[in-house]
Each structure stands twice: as structure tokens, then as C-alpha cells.
Structure 1
């Protein structure tokens, strides 16, 4: 990081506490305003729920009073119809009243010509019969009136305590919608009264377009129905565009009604947001100007001398130690002091590099000489095996001497490659295989008989891995010559290698006779296959036998170390 930039950062870090204090203050101000709006929404929702509590209580008292009408007690349908009609005319909020038998049949109604309808399947009626208490319905539309309403039911018990009748009234939801805005709600507010099923029973504003709609897919409504009381921020299409502060409160039992009220946050917080971002902008501008002044000062007083020193460092990185020793800096006493020590360092590095270059050259020369001598010694041993073989009469013993000689020659070729290559730590394994296959073609193959084809991609192996890998390939090719082509058969042996991610894949395939289906290299009794298995374990490599339509393939997967990738 540039020194000028560091100075700027120091100034910014020194100013950071002030910036953070201002930022935290602004965030708290915004948060407090949000909390205040949520609390207001919660208070308003509770007030609306309380007003609806009074409606529920008034309906309960009206039902109780109706239950004591003599015409209802006497089950005089004609007089009962007249009395209920009088009540609904006096209470315009009601769309209908009725009295039902315990089996759900209406025997007394306020609407002419609507008797006899059975309501036994209604959930609110069944709940009244089960509980013996007052119950309310979700939003419904009357069959005769076509108006939206909420039904209240109350049981009438006889002398024995059994339910003899159920008195019923339907309350207009249009009235409920108007009452939601009494007293007048804040601008932009929305309030809805919902049943347990999520259907809007009353809403303000715009009740005509929303009453009767099911909002149970809204996350806000789901939480309101389940929790009955609470508050949250959120977005809801049914409330309007932007974010709202929602609060919900229950209308007291026995109802399943919930009040959901929303106050617009987006518009309300606009002024707070404007103040917040204006203060952030001013604070950022002041700190940016301070940082810019620091960078200009650093450029004039520190940057130029540092660049002079940096140019010498770059030259030193490229190996130009002379430039590093001639560095000259015009600047402060501290920078001149640094330049003097830099010159001394450059001189010392030049001396050390010269020593290291000589040491590396000497090491490589020694390693190549060792590999050359090892190769000569192995070839001498192979020649001695050849001389000894000439005196052996037993064909099997002569064959064993031949195989041992080939193994020794394989190792000798690796050492020859090591002192011929420039890199003494690794071997170009693909080039080695190509030479190895050419020599085997000359030594073991013959025109019109068995040929060896080498298919390789560029790859390298460390010296401690290349000898076991080469011996495995030698054994697999030898086995192919010995066992895959009986009776002077012609054929082709294919040798390949290719790197793939973190492994080197080596393959030896022939088109001779196939192996038995249960062949297992690890269980083989032959010396060659035992050697192959042991060498694979030494390399931590996997050995796989693949039966081809003609012949078979041996696939060796050698894990590559980083230096050989």
C-alpha cells in the first residue's frame, strides 16, 4: 500500500469515531421514528378492536333480550316474525334476525317469505350447539339480502337446561367499514377486519373493492390470524404501495375477528431519510477532503523520494545489482539513511547470488557425473549378465538372465536421461518412453511380427518416481511379448502416458489373447506381476486391468507431486 494512501487512511481512522458517532445517532433517530410509528399503529389497532368489542357486546345484549321475548318462548312463529321485523326496522345496522330450532331450521324470521331454511351445516351454528355460548361467523353474504354481514348466534335454554332454540342476527359489514374510520384515521392509513379464514369483513378506505376478498396468501395476514396480536414492518399489495407499519389486535371472544391496521412508513420516514443521507454526505465529503489533502502532501514530501528508491528496487528485482548500488535519494534524512543501507544490501546480494550460482552449477555437475557413472556401472553389470548367460545351457535360466539384464538396462537409461537433461531433479517422461519404445522395437520386435506404438503427451516425473514407473512399463511390455502372442502371432503393443489434473495416467495395452475374467494382479504368482504390484504400492499408484474386445489394457494412475505438474 502506498505511503500517501497510508497517511490518508490514518487521517480517516482518526476521524472514524466522529463519523461512527454521527452515523449511530442518525440510525438511532431513524429507528426511534420507526418504533414510534409501529407503536402508534399498535395503539390505533387496539382502539379499533375496542370499538368492535362494543359492537359484539351490543349484539350479545340484543340477542339475550330477544331470547326473553314471550313469542319466542311460546314458539309463536307469527308473533315472533312481527317482533323480529320491528327490531330490525329499529336497528338499521341489522340485515336480518331469526330463531332456529336445535336442528337448524328457521321457524321465526324478520324477512318475509324466508322461513324454513336449514342452517345446520353452518359452522357458527354448530359451534353454538356444541359450546352453548354465543358465537360469530366469518364474513358471509346473505342469500335473501345479498348483503355482506357477520352473524351472531346465541342459545336459548329451556327449563331443563337443554338448548331449545338459537337466536340469530346478521350485522351489516358496510356499517362496520364506516365505523373503522371513526374517529378519522391518519392520512394513508388502512384498516381491515378479518375473519379466521382471512376474508375481509370490513375495510377502510375503499371497502367496496376489498370486502369479501380472501387475503390468506399475505404474510402479514397469516401472522395476524395466527398471533392475533403484534406488530411488524412489511409490504402488502392489499394495503397499498410502499412499506407499512402493521399492527393487529383481536376483537374479544367469542369472535374470531382480528383488526389489522397499517400506517405508511415510506412517506412518513421520507424526511428522516433525507436528513440522514444529507448528514452522511456532508460527513463523507469532509473526510474525503482531509484524505485528499493528506495524499497531496504525501506525494510532495514522501512520494518522490520513495519512487526514486522504488526504481532502484525494481532494477534489483531484475538482477541489476549495479543499479541498486548507485541509488541516490533526495529527501528527508530518514530516507537518505534508508538509501545508504539499501546500497549495502544490494552489494551483499550480488555477492551472495554469485556464490549461489557457482554452488548450483557445481551441484548439477556432480549429480550429472554421478548419474553418468551409475549408468556406466549398470551397463557394465548388464554386460556381465550377458557374458554369464552365454555359459548357461538351461533355456529357462537364460530367459531369467535376459529379463534381469533388461531391467538393469531400463534403470541405466533413466540415469542416462538424468545426466543428459538440463533439469537433474525431473525427467521428461514422455521423451524417455518414446526412446524406450524405439529401442524395444529394435531389440524385441521385428518386421511383420509385434510392434510397439508410443502415444504420449508432455509430462514430467521426479527422479524418485521415474525408475519405479519405468520398471513397471518394462515388465508389462515383457509380459505382453511372452504371453499375449503365442505361436508367432502378429500384434501391436500400445504404450501411453498423459497427465490429468493431479495424476499421471500410464497405459500398456495389447491386442493379443485376453486374461481370465477373475484375474487379479495382487494374487499373481509370477515374478513380473509381483514386481509390478510392489512398484505400484511404492508409487502409491493404482493398477487397473481392463479387458478389451481384443486383448487387454493395464492402466496405472500415479499421483503427481506439485513439482511435477
Structure 2
């Protein structure tokens, strides 16, 4: 009788599974390649935008400095010319010397003129050769003769002396009796601004233009290779006009061919714009990304080869499976031995964790007590200081109590890593009402979802909201005034928003919160920066004050 051969179970077909895995891997990698290319393009565009914005800012500052220096020179001429006796040759010669001196001190000045009330040249850098020039028909002379006292900035014009294209800056000369005494005129050369822009080595075929108050072109660098009727794109002029009407001094716009960033040159009525070519930007991005795309495609080809080799060697799986079964048996034996050891270790760790929780509760309790002692000491000390200093002691006591409330919430909670912020905020508002003697005069309503934060977020957030609510109680309700403070909390996927709205006296109209240097507002700014949050004070219609804080959601909160 022949011995029967052992029957082995049929091997599960692995090749189709491997093929599906290979195709899925290729699809995922191609999707990642496309997503990476798109992300890289958006990053590239963002870098171009930020670079163009920075160049526009630099050029606007440079233009403002040049115009400011020219305007100071004009004011100097106006001061000298308004009191000079033009019938006196020595006085006239002193004005001529001042004109020549200004020309050599400021390299971007082409010509300097002092015109009389009839438009004739009284003094200039051209000397006697300019005496025959009559400027009475010029727009700047007409504007000054009609009573304008502002700085006049012309569009690009031809110089009366040599026909060179210049920008005219002019100011009115007033006589001691207030009558019209003429015009001080400076022809402003734009070559320095062009050279400054060229020296920045801006990429992507960038163009710089300077637009005057009438929307006309003052400067363009580089100049167009062919003469065109409209050297400035109309959408750019429209965007500038809208920004001016809305009181904004800067902005950005993307036209069909360029991304433009524009800024006003300080307080002067001219706008500097820098435009980056979209076509040059796309070409540069393609040149940057092509080598990486080639590398990724080569990697995909290599991966395909490896997958083919793996497919051919799928028959080795059975042998590995048997060895794996033997290994698993041995591992299970060892795991059983280790499991009993780990159970004893886990028991000891649980005991250690319980001991740690007890210690943490004690620490938070003692920190809270110590802060209460500090607040009490400050309260006692405030009774013996100058009454004008007592509000500062009071404010600091409120800040210390706000931090103490955090530790009180932690040691009273089952979760030592998170602060129940809703309960904390309610108790904080009660403390502040009692501290400011609001009592039943001011009601505080809190609406929003349940929130909890770690202590490193809850502490600065609690201090910040304490400052805001204290400001409402302190400055919004004087005497026996009654009212309501509403705190609305809204949580979205990306952020948590706190709104504190009171119906009190409101922010004084002459108070500029952006420049106010009080301790409370500085503390709010510092705490908002520490939290990575943004905030704003608003003056709603009617009365009261609205404070909005937007806190981004992170792994910690």
C-alpha cells in the first residue's frame, strides 16, 4: 500500500491583489503629484504677491521721501520769496543764490523757478535765459492764482526751458498782506526713482508706474518698447479710484496680464504701483517644477519595476506564511509571560497616577491660596498709598484673582488638564461685578457651547476677557447707571469667537485704540499675541461697545 502524499491547501491567488495594490498606489502617487504641483503653484503665486507688495512698499516710501524733500525745498522758497523786496538787486540776488543752492543739494531736481504774480520768471536755476518764459497759462499757475494753498503735482509735462519731460511741484507764494505773490516751482526728475526700481532686480518682468492725482502717468519703468495710447491698464486706475473713495491708501488687483500692488506715497497725492507679469510668473514656475516632475515620474517607473518583480516572486509567500505561523506561536507564548508582568506594572502605575493627581490638586490649591494672599496684601497696601494710585492696585488685584480662579477651577475639577471655561467665566463675571460694585445694576449674560481649555490657554484667555469686562464695568456704567453685558461664544471648525457687547457709555469718539498706551489695552494686545488670536473693538450703532476675539483652534484647545 502506497503512502499517501499530504494534501496542502491551495494557495490564495496573490497576484491579482498585488496588481490592484499597484494600480491604487500609482493612482495615489499621481494624485499626490498633481496636488503637490498645485500647492507649489499656489505657494509660488503667494511668494510673487508678497514680493511685489514689498517692492511697492519700498518704492512708495522712496517716492514719499523724494516728494517730501522737494516740498520742504518749495516751502523754503515760499518763505524767502514772500518777504523779499524784488526791486532791490541784492535781495533778488539772494533769492537766486538760494535757488541754485537747492538745485545742487537735491540731485533729483531739474529746474527751480520763482514766478511773479503775472507768470514771469523772477529767479531760476537758468539765470537770465529764463526771463522770457511766461508760465501764466500753466495749470499750476492758474490753480495758485485762484487761491489754492495745497501742494500742486502735475502730470508729466514738457519743461518750458528745454522740453525735457518732468513732473512739476508748485506752491503758492503769499504776500504779508495775504495777496497773491507768485508761485514757487520745482521740476522734479524721475530718473532717481527709475534707477531705484531697476536696482531692486525685481523678477517676473515687473513694471513700476507712478500715477498722479488726476490719474495720469507720471513715471513708468521700463518704458514701453512701442508708444501706446494708454500706458496704464484701466482696471488698475479703476481699483486705485475705488481705494481712494473708500479711504484706503493701498491695495492689490490682478488684471489679464499682471498682478498689481499699489500704495499711496505717504500723504502726497500720487500712487506707486508695481506689476508682475503673470506669464513670466507661470514660465518661472514651470521651469522650477519640471525637474521635480521628471524625478517623480522616474520614481514611478522604478516603482513599477519593483512591483513587477514582487509579482513574479509572489510564490514565496507560502513559505513565509509557514514561518510566520511558527513565529506567532512562539510570540504568543512570550506575550503570555509578559502580560502577567505588565499587569503588575500597570497596577503600580495606576497607584502612581492617583498619587500624582492628589499632588497636582494640592499644588493648584496652594497656588490659588497664595494668589489670594497676594491680592489681599495689595488691597491692604492700597489703603496707604496716594488715592490716585489705588485704581492701579485695584486693576492688578483683579488680574491676580482672575488667575487664581483658573487654579481653583482645576483643583475642584475631575480633569486636571482642562479648565471648564464656561463655569470659570461665570464665576469671573460675578467677582468683577462685586469688585466694581455693579451688584444688580449690571446683568451679565453668557451664551455659547461648553468649552474647556488647557491651563496655558485658559490663563491668558481669562486675563484678556477679565480686562475687557473690567473696562466695560469701569468705563461703561458710571454712577447708578444700569445695563447689560452679553458674552456670546461661537465655535467653528477653525476658530472660537468671543463677543463681549455692553450697552454702556461706549468708546469716546476721540479715543484711538490703535495708539492708546494704557496698561489694560497693552495687556490685551500682548495676551492676544500670546494666544495667536485676533481682536477688534467696534462702536455699534446706538450705544455701547463691542469687543470681538477670534481664537484659532489648535491641538491644545
Q: TM-score, normalised by structure 1?
A: 0.41
When Rg is computed on C-alpha atoms for both structures, the one with the higher figure is 1
Under a length normalisation based on structure 2, what TM-score does the superposition of the two structures give?
A: 0.41
